[in-house]
Every structure is written in C-alpha cells, then in structure tokens.
Structure 1
C-alpha cells in the first residue's frame, strides 16, 4: 500500500448512554441490552461478539426498566406502564399491553416461557400468559404496600419472589397470595432498605442484593434467612448465577464485581463463601450476565465488558452505534455523522500541496465546518417535543442528497451549498415515505436512491430536478431476517443486500431495460457477516464473518477467487474484536484494508515478505503447492476507538476516531472510595 494523506476526524462525539438492563437467550447466545435513552442492542456472542442489530428509541417507548427473552420474543417494561414486544426483523415495536399499577420496574419469564410476571409502582404484581396466538393478561396478585423493584420466578414456575422496600415476598402463582414475608432490616432507623435484585436457585434458595450493600441468602421453603454478607460498601444493583448454580457474581454502586462460590462443609451442608474480586468498571454496574463462563457486565460508564478466567482476559467495547454510522461524500468532501437522535453534516478541510516524500502533519487551508444538523421531532405522552431515534442515514457522493429514517418514516432532502449559504429543501411528495427503511444508499452517479424498507421490499427512486420518483420495487423473499448491509459498487452495476442469517444477494443493473435484476446469491455460511465491501477496480466482493473468516467473491463470474480459496488453509485466527469495516486501495487491485476498534490490517495479495519481519507485520501461510505463498499482512495500531475508515480521494483517507477521554468526561461522578488513606 502506497503512502497517502489521512484526515483524522476527532469531532465525532457520540453521547455515552448507560447500560440499564441485560438478558441473554441461551440457545442462540444472543445478548439483548438496553441503554438509558431506551435504545436496544442485540449482540451475537457465538464467535467474535458484535452488534447484530439495534432498535432506535422512540417517543412512545421512552423507558426500559426491565428486559427479558420469552423464547424468540424480546420483551420490556418501563415507566410508561406498558409491556412491549419487539419485532426483531423490522426493528420496531410489535405489540403493547397496559399493566395494572402505573410504571413498571421489573419483569421475569418462567422457565417454560409460558408466564410473564411484572412488578409495578403501586405494588401490583401482574401475570401474563403466553399462548400460541399471542400474550394475554391473566390477573394481578394481591396489592402490596410500596413499589415492586425486583422479581424472579422459581425453577418450577409455581412461585414468584418479589423484592421491594424493606421486604421480600414469596407469591403463589395459582392463588395470587403471598405465602411468606421476609423483612430485610435496616442499617439506619430512618433509611429504608431497597431490594434491588433477586435470584432463585433450583433448591429454592433466594439470593437478594439490597441498598445496604448486603448479599443475603434465604430459605424459600420456610421463609427464613440463612446467612448474610456485607459484600459491598454501597447498593448492590445486579447479580447473576452460573448454569450449575454453584457460583454467583454481584456488583452495583460499588463497582467491584465480587464472586461467591458454593462449597460443601461438614455434615454435607452447603455454604456460600467469598471468592475472587474483579475491578472492571469505575462507575455503577447495573447489569451482569454469565454466558459459558464469560461474565458480561455493563453500567453507567456505557462500556460493555467481557471478562473470564482462564486465561485472565478482559475485553471492553465502547458505546458506538452499529455500522454504518459514518459516511463520506467523496466528491463534495463532506462527512455525515449519525448520532442516536440526530445527524450532522461536516465539510472536510483541504490540505496544502507538499512533496510526495513528505512525512508528518500537513498544514490545512481551512478548518472542518459543521454545515447542518438534522433530527425528527415529535410529541411524547405529555405533549412535550422529543427527538425520534435515527434508524439509518445516507448521503450521495456529490453531497446534494441526504436521507435519514426514523420509526415515523423516511425523510429525503436536497442540499444546496453555494456561496457558504447552506440551503435544505425537503422532498415532501416522496412515495412510501411513511414506511421506515432499515438501510439506504445512493448510486455513484447520484441519479438513484435505493432503500430497504422494514416491510421487506427494495425501493428504487429516480432522482431528477430535485424530485424523487419510484422507478422499481423488488420484494426480497430470500432475506428471512433483518437486513444489515446494502451497498452499491463504484461502477454502479452491482447492488449487494445481506441479512443477519448470512443470506447475501447480488443484483445487477441492466442498462438497456433501466432495471435491476437478481444476479446471484452467495453460498450461505454458518455465521453472520460483520462487514463487507466491493472493490472499486475488480468488483470483487470481500466479506468478513463473525468468526473472522474472509471470503472474496467474483461477482461477475459468480465464484470465489483463488485468493479466497487459499485463505481457507491460512492461519488467519479469530480475533477478540470484530472487523467493523472493509475498504480497498483505489490504486491497487491487490490491497485489502480491514479495520476493527483499534487496528488497521492491510493485506497485500501480491506481496511476499522476505527477510526479517517488521514488528508490525506477520506472515500468513496460504495453501500449499504452486498456489501456496506467504502473504504480507501489516497491522497498524494507532487509534483507540476507530469508528470508520474510508477513502476521500485517490491519495486521501478519512479516519473517524472517538477519543476515550471524550466519553469519560460526559460520565456521572463515580462512587468515592478510600484507597490507602486517599480518596
């Protein structure tokens, strides 16, 4: 790869949103988490963990206080007093049910996925049943004094354990009456104890964490306390159990994650003893989940962390939006930045002309300039205006067309920037604008807009004289799940559409008929793709999957390339972080550039490394025999949180980075502890 100029964009400041809840679907290893702004992220944990899909916040669903899987259904409750079911293919709300007792703080689903329990502000415990044709309200239990903060079904589904202020109750599901009431006690007479979290073992041992920082074990059969530990110096907000029920982790306002192990003592009795301690977060830990001996934790610092032993490993993922959240308009030298509830358009600076051998920082003729900010405002339940969450956004290469979508529909604008005076004109007569789109892309000639609606259709719009008219509609039946990729080749001839189940379709543009046709479908792989792109010179499609498998597909000839076949036998290993982006050197057919959170990996298909290896390079053995060769692979670790890497011109690149300090500066104060006599 030849030398090039790099624009280091450091004015992208996504707002860190605290992780509120987490729940895992054990059969598919899908981790669902909610954030403070009521956005949802579904993480795939089967190989390299990555965001498989995300659901933008809306004014209707502005709060998520509890989250749970019910089979393949994802449910949540919040301060709006609704039980919400999500459509994970359309990435929107599917159904809503009102609960008795105003705001809802917690919910749980029994082991058989047939009953749902919800705790509310007014002390009502609601019970819903799950039938083949839907979810139905069945009854609410006896009203208790005070709100219900936490609850959990036992392993049989016959009892529900609820935690509130100063008390834990055990409820009989059949009768709806409380059969045991256990008081927690107080550390101060006038300071109530809040039971923040509860879990129940198979032998009906109840484990609770409360605002005193105490972890307490109760005998659920007789409603009596077994033992109690002063585990933390402040509130315990979350706890989780291992699959074999012999290990638990707890954490909270005091962010130390402490492990307790169940051991057998004299006379065959069992006892929980304190084990290892992990210092992963500096701020409140709101949620803990244990999957295959890997502990996933998240809280007010907005980072999702994964820790496990052996070997001692800690991985942390920053609070970045799912790709694509950055797009470069190369011809206009614009960059479009997508945030949770708005998009920003910036103009990039131009550099002074220097000698080709120059190395270092280049002087700029002008500073980057923010041109506009776009958002969709609607009214919430209280009649107050609030911004809708952005599902997707895109900009044409010439910078004259901008599109973004919310759950309320699609918004298309024509952007005119003459004489330093930005002018934005909305296209009001856009057909099917009321249907939200999951992905949108403009063709390189800036004459077509392609959108994939959440109804399952590809819409092709013709752009002419400031208007957009429907040119073609294709119903895509081969895509059975949520579409995450939509891209057009640089030549404008090929269109790629892919979903989360590794269905990758290729459409080709017929110049004579002025229509798109289904060209081919790539062989389906067992794991979902995390990134893909089309080479501007060869039109070869490069796909990287969640297990770090790389394939190169010749779209025109409908087969894998020789390079792709050689990679089958390479020692390219799985990575800790997923590949976020694939790009290419427009000056060479042989260079592939991969990018993850902090690394840039440059692969040169036609270059053998000889002699001593560079400290930043390694050899990857490809195949054997006459096709076998050693491939040069260079790794550059220059960035902390690299969001996007793309080409602006033949010799100019754009690297968008989020500085970790900019995230830390926006966080709330952390819990203050004395360490060696100092705070």
Structure 2
C-alpha cells in the first residue's frame, strides 16, 4: 500500500486472539417518551466477561465508557434508576447472591448488596424508581429499597415464597403487582401495593404448555400497560398473551422453533418484538380485526447468526429503535416503526474505547491484553513471509480485576500493567526465542491504580490515577517522595455530566518529552508542562473527544464524536489557539470522512513526514497531510439526515431540558463557539492538493493501527470468522 507519496509496507495481522464477551444484557437508561429524548439517555451493554459498556445513541452511537469486569464474573442483568434532576444509577446482577451498584465516576463497585436469598436470576426496576425486585434460584423474590439515594440499598421484604427458580420479572402499572416467569412452567403474580395488609401475597398462578421432554421454562415476561396484558415467552417457543385482571390466557402463538429469551415493545404497546435461540426476531402488531382488537404476527427478520440473549427498545419524538445482541457478540440496531423492510445496522465486533494493543518500534514488539492475560509477539521485518511473527511471552496475572491498561518503555524492556486498584511493573529481557519476564518492586505503583499510562523514555512515565490525578514517576528512583503528582484544572460540568459522572473523568492521555495532554468526557482539554509540572486549561469544548495525539510541531490533534478534526497550538496566546491549518481546512474535510458512521478511535504519527497524521476507526484508515490544504468543498450545506430510527439526531431535536437546568441550556449548542470567536481571517492559503487526503476501507474490523517502523504500518484485524462460536441453532430432523 502507498499513502500520498512514499511507500508504506503494511503488516496485516490476524493472529491476535482478542475476543469480546457475549452480549448478555441490554438496558436503556430511560423509558420511552413522546417528547424529545433526554440529553443523558444512554444504553448499557452487559457482557459475559463481566464488562459493562455505556453507549450514547446520539450522532450514530458513541461508546463513552467501559466498566471492566473480573475473573469469573458475568453480567446477567442490568437496571437503571433515572429520577429527574438526580444522577443516574446503574445496577447489575451476575451469577451470585449480590446486586452491584456501580460508581459511574471510577468504574468500580459502589455497593455490593447481598440479598441473602440464593443466586439471583432476574432483576426489575419499579416504575417509581424506588425499588428493585430480584428473583432467586430458591424461589424467593426480594424487594430492595433504593430510595435513600446513591449507594443506599436496604432490604424491604421477601414476597410469599414458592419453590421454583424465578427466571424473569416485570412490574405492572403503579407498581401494584409483580409478575414472574418461573422454571416450573408457571407465571406468578404477587400483590405489592404499599401500605396494604395483603402486600407480598401470591395473587395468581398461570400455567404455560408443558414440554414432553422436560419442564417448561418461562424465560421472559413483559407487562403491556395499554392493554393491561402480560406477555410471556417460554422454552417451547411459545409467545402467550394473558389478561391481567382475570389471569387468563387470551392468545397463544407458536412461531419460534426454540426458547423465547427476550421481549420488547414500543411506547404505545401496539408492537411487540420477540426473539431467542432460533435467532429470528418476530414482530406482533395489535390491530382491529373488525370484531375486536387482536395480536397478529406480522413479520420476522434474521439479523443474527446465533442466539439472541437480550433485547431493549426505546422510542422518543423523531426516533425509535430496537437493539439486540447475544452469542454473536455484535450489537444490532433496527427501527421499530419500519421493522419489516427498514434498514438495520450491525456494530463492529470490537469498538476499542479502551485500547488493548500497543507496539514498540525499537524491539518490534506487539502487546495485547485482555481480562488478566498479556501476550507479547515479535514482528519480523519481511512482510511477505507467511508467518513473520512469534509469540515471545505470555503473562497470566492472578489478580481478580481485569487489566485496564498497559504501557511499554521506549527501549521495550519495561512493561507496566495497570488495574484500577494496583499497578505492576515487569522487566522484559530478550533470550534466544523468548522474553524472560521479571517482576520489579515498586511500592508506590502497587498501591496506586492506573487507567492510562505513557512512557516518556526508558524509565520515566506519566500515568493517570483512578481519581484523575496525573502522576510522574521515574522507575530508576528508589525514593517514592520523588514521585510528582499534578492536579488537573477544574472543568465546568454540563447537564449531562451532572447526571453521568464519568463524563467529568479523564478519557484520553497522550505525552511526549515536554508536554502531556488529557481530555475529559465533557470535551475539556488540559495541557501539562512536564518541565514545570504545572497544568492549565487548554480549551473547553462541548463535544465528546474520541481520540487525540500530540504532534512534533507542538500541536495537539483532536477528533470528536462527530468526526470533526481540530488542531490546537500547545504554546500560544488564547487568540492563537487554533492552528492555521485548522482555520483554512475545518470546512473542507472530505464528506467521505465526516459522513463515516464509525467513530475515530485512534491517531498516530508518520515519522517519515511530521506533517502527516493517520486516523483510524473500526473499518477505515485515513491519512491527512497537514502541510497541504484540502481541496475546497463545493458541496452545499449538508441536509439534515433522514431519520431511519437507528440513531438520535441532534440536528433537529432540542434536548429535553430539566426545569432546574435551564441555565445550562447554552452548553448544548451544537456549533462550536471556537468557530464564532476565531474565524479564519486572511489565512494565507497553502497549495490545495488532492494528495492531502488518503482513505481506505480495505482493513476491517480494526483492533489497532500504528507504526512498527518508520516506513512500516501494522494493522491488527479480527474478522468474525476467526472467532470460534457455538453452532447456530438447527432444527431437529423430523421423524415420520
């Protein structure tokens, strides 16, 4: 491959066995509404490796935060508490007797509440957001009061006990009753109205069809408020509709070929979506047949290549979407209103918010980490050799917590492995065919957590602690007192960051020998001078930053969630913050780049030309020469995107503003104020050239792109076909 001039040799790597966990749980932070979507609307994705990903559905979906799991953990259920005017709270369950509330600032558990009643299989949040109901394998349903605020979970009561495992739960209108699907083929309804002597009593028990081979499992239940009905999905493949008042079956459908694991509905409960082991998503519509209103199976689609474990839906003014996921590991989005024939989108298998790969040019090493394992490969120079790589080290750490980040010294001999609570350092010594790994003792690092780290040279490094303190340390110094801690300047909170505290935390860190730059989820960008150990606010943007990189020209290149590129001078007066290249080119970025659906997740430099910068996302690679001006864009202003239900567009929709947050409304203005205050005036135009921009989508999906040598690129791919999966569901052969 060649870029805009000189040849670049490409090492195309497919041997890195990075495999994400299965999707096991999905939950939107808010209920559907006929108004505009709240600014803080998010989707939480739980995975089988214990990770929780938080996505923003605006601007074609952006992964904003990842809570790392630990060894032996899995997320089997998620639930949000979203009370107007208060910070959002996130709860999870996973194969234990514990309900976990997460600290959305640090990504650590805030509270692990033991319900003392058996392994929890299901979780449901009450409509008033004051209670959690959890169903256990010993047949009990426990009510937990969470009205005390963040971090407060208190036992309220245990409903009348029965003997069967509680597989699914849903609350009815006004939280008057709680419906459970159980492992004995029964649906049970408990009375839960407050200040009533009958609270906790079992009201009704309903039976589904029996299986000839084994007991029927009611995997999913859902309450439909508009019809006052309960819908259930079970292990025989049946979808059944029940009248809540009389606890009687009204309709039954046998459309699925295997277990129905998940259900979802729209705002007015006129559409129902069901899915499970047979991979298909069926749509049911509530229509007038002339004599009465009935449910009818209207369509089905096959988006997934394996079991669908979870579905969640959200509808607001101007947008509606259904998200689903499972063993295939990829998230799929489609529109509920145009389900039968509309577009759908399958997200890339891996969206590396937390980078899990790095390279060292001096020793030609590639490092990959996942869960508690670090693997290191040596990359040969001959790109034409079929197997020009060799695994030279594999570290399996005994810590329970998953690895957050890794860093490698410039000489490739010191490896830092960071977790949220502790950081370890190893010496890598080359031998004949392997790397000899020796643990180095550093008391300060062992008691300090680390979420980002970057080596400045062979022994000096800069890291970001879990509390967002920037720490400078020299590993050759024995004295901990010589460690320097730098506090970042205060950043203004926004309406969203008041409710989602991770947006106030550092989400990117880059450094060279003189400077370090840190960004936060609110768009704040801070500069750290490593010679004076001082920090200052560089700029306060209002866009989420997805990638940044310091260049040798003493500038920092930043890409936002809208795929807009900014370049700032690190040493300048405030009125000269924007570089000349940005002023001359910010309106001329090629449509091919700005219209990309996948966000930019990484930036790296080209040593062959300091003006060339590489950008990459999960299915594209771009090179821009910043010594040249981009061709003038002749296209008219882009029209507002047609709403296809696959994202929330902020172009035409004003965010739902809390009454007590009206003062913050100006923070949500989409046009960046920088362009108002620092318009390009009499910028001397360089030569405009088509060679300033290079694009390819040949490599996908990308886990990593970078330089292994000054004239050699390394591209790490992880195609779906390389990831082993259990066989997709197959029908049993009919025997006559």
Task: Compute the TM-score of the two structures, normalised by the length of structure 1.
Answer: 0.88
SS of residue in 2 equivalent to 1:12: coil
What residue in structure 2 maps to residue 404 of structure 1? 417
What residue in structure 1 maps to residue 557 of structure 2? 542
Structure 1, unmatched stretches of 5+, are 352-360, 379-386, 612-617
Q: How far does residue 469 in structure 1 lie from its aligned partner after superposition? A: 6.7
What is the distance in 1 between the residues matched to 2:481 and 2:414?
Answer: 14
Aligned counterpart for 1:344 among listed residues 364, 368, 375: 375
What residue in structure 2 maps to residue 299 of structure 1? 326
Q: How far does residue 31 in structure 1 lie from its aligned partner after superposition? A: 1.4
SS of residue in 2 equivalent to 1:142: coil
What residue in structure 1 maps to residue 102 of structure 2? 86
SS of residue in 1 equivalent to 2:582: helix
Distance 1:325 1:394, change over 3 A: same
* Matching of residue 318 in structure 1 with residue 349 in structure 2: yes
Q: How far does residue 431 in structure 1 lie from its aligned partner after superposition? A: 0.7
Structure 2, unmatched stretches of 5+, are 31-37, 83-87, 194-198, 492-500, 638-678
SS of residue in 2 equivalent to 1:162: strand
Give per-residue Cα distances to partners, 1:387-434, cap 9 Å, x unaligned. 541111111121111111235511111222255563322222331522
What is the distance in 1 between the residues matched to 2:207 and 2:260?
Answer: 17
Distance 1:363 1:225, change over 3 A: closer
Give per-residue Cα distances to partners, 1:443-500, cap 9 Å, x unaligned. 1x223122212133222111227997742012336366332211113xx111111222
- The answer to whether the Cα contact below 8 Å between 2:488 and 2:535 also exists between their aligned partners in 1 is no
What residue in structure 2 maps to residue 356 of structure 1? none
SS of residue in 2 equivalent to 1:206: strand
Distance 1:556 1:57, change over 3 A: same
* Matching of residue 392 in structure 1 with residue 409 in structure 2: no
What residue in structure 1 maps to residue 33 of structure 2? none
Q: How far does residue 294 in structure 1 lie from its aligned partner after superposition? A: 2.2
What is the distance in 2 between the residues matched to 1:230 and 1:465?
Answer: 70
SS of residue in 2 equivalent to 1:293: strand
What is the distance in 2 between the residues matched to 1:79 and 1:145?
Answer: 19
Distance 1:590 1:407, change over 3 A: closer
What residue in structure 2 maps to residue 482 of structure 1? 505
- The answer to whether the Cα contact below 8 Å between 1:389 and 1:406 also exists between their aligned partners in 2 is yes
Aligned counterpart for 2:257 among listed residues 228, 233, 236: 233
Residues 241-320 of structure 1 correspond to what in structure 2 (within 5 A)?
241-266=265-290, 269-291=292-314, 292-308=319-335, 309=338, 312-319=343-350
What is the distance in 2 between the residues matched to 1:127 and 1:610?
Answer: 63
What residue in structure 1 maps to residue 519 of structure 2? 498
What residue in structure 2 maps to residue 355 of structure 1? none
Q: How far does residue 197 in structure 1 lie from its aligned partner after superposition? A: 0.9
Aligned counterpart for 2:78 among listed residues 67, 70, 74: 67
Aligned counterpart for 2:621 among listed residues 593, 600, 623: 600
Stretch moving more, 272-281 or 145-154? 272-281
What residue in structure 2 maps to residue 384 of structure 1? none
What is the distance in 2 between the residues matched to 1:610 and 1:65?
Answer: 51
SS of residue in 2 equivalent to 1:198: strand
What residue in structure 1 maps to residue 19 of structure 2? 15
- The answer to whether the Cα contact below 8 Å between 2:221 and 2:231 also exists between their aligned partners in 1 is yes
* Matching of residue 586 in structure 1 with residue 607 in structure 2: yes
What residue in structure 1 maps to residue 447 of structure 2? 434
Aligned counterpart for 2:170 among listed residues 149, 152, 171: 152
SS of residue in 2 equivalent to 1:587: coil
What is the distance in 2 between the residues matched to 1:276 and 1:477?
Answer: 55
Residues 280-679 of structure 1 correspond to what in structure 2 (within 5 A)?
280-291=303-314, 292-308=319-335, 309=338, 312-319=343-350, 321-351=352-382, 362=384, 367-378=388-399, 388-418=401-431, 420=433, 422-443=435-456, 445-464=457-476, 470-476=482-488, 478=490, 481-489=504-512, 492-510=513-531, 515-525=532-542, 527-535=543-551, 537-557=552-572, 559-570=577-588, 572=591, 573-607=594-628, 632-663=692-723, 666-673=724-731
Distance 1:608 1:540, change over 3 A: closer
Distance 1:422 1:187, change over 3 A: closer
Stretch moving more, 269-278 or 298-307? 269-278
- The answer to whether the Cα contact below 8 Å between 1:83 and 1:98 also exists between their aligned partners in 2 is yes
Q: How far does residue 262 in structure 1 lie from its aligned partner after superposition? A: 2.1
Stretch moving more, 538-547 or 206-215? 538-547
Aligned counterpart for 2:208 among listed residues 177, 184, 188: 184
Give per-residue Cα distances to partners, 1:495-517, cap 9 Å, x unaligned. 1112222222111122xxxx421
- The answer to whether the Cα contact below 8 Å between 1:640 and 1:657 also exists between their aligned partners in 2 is yes
What is the distance in 2 between the residues matched to 1:284 and 1:363?
Answer: 39
Distance 1:465 1:483, change over 3 A: closer
What is the distance in 1 between the residues matched to 2:240 and 2:144?
Answer: 29
What is the distance in 2 between the residues matched to 1:110 and 1:493?
Answer: 53
Higher strand share: 1
What is the distance in 2 between the residues matched to 1:609 and 1:476?
Answer: 35
Task: Compute the TM-score of the two structures, normalised by the length of structure 2.
Answer: 0.81
SS of residue in 2 equivalent to 1:653: strand
Distance 1:202 1:493, change over 3 A: same
Q: How far does residue 311 in structure 1 lie from its aligned partner after superposition? A: 5.2
What residue in structure 2 maps to residue 101 of structure 1? 117
The alignment yields a C-alpha RMSD, in angstroms, of 2.8
SS of residue in 1 equivalent to 2:533: strand
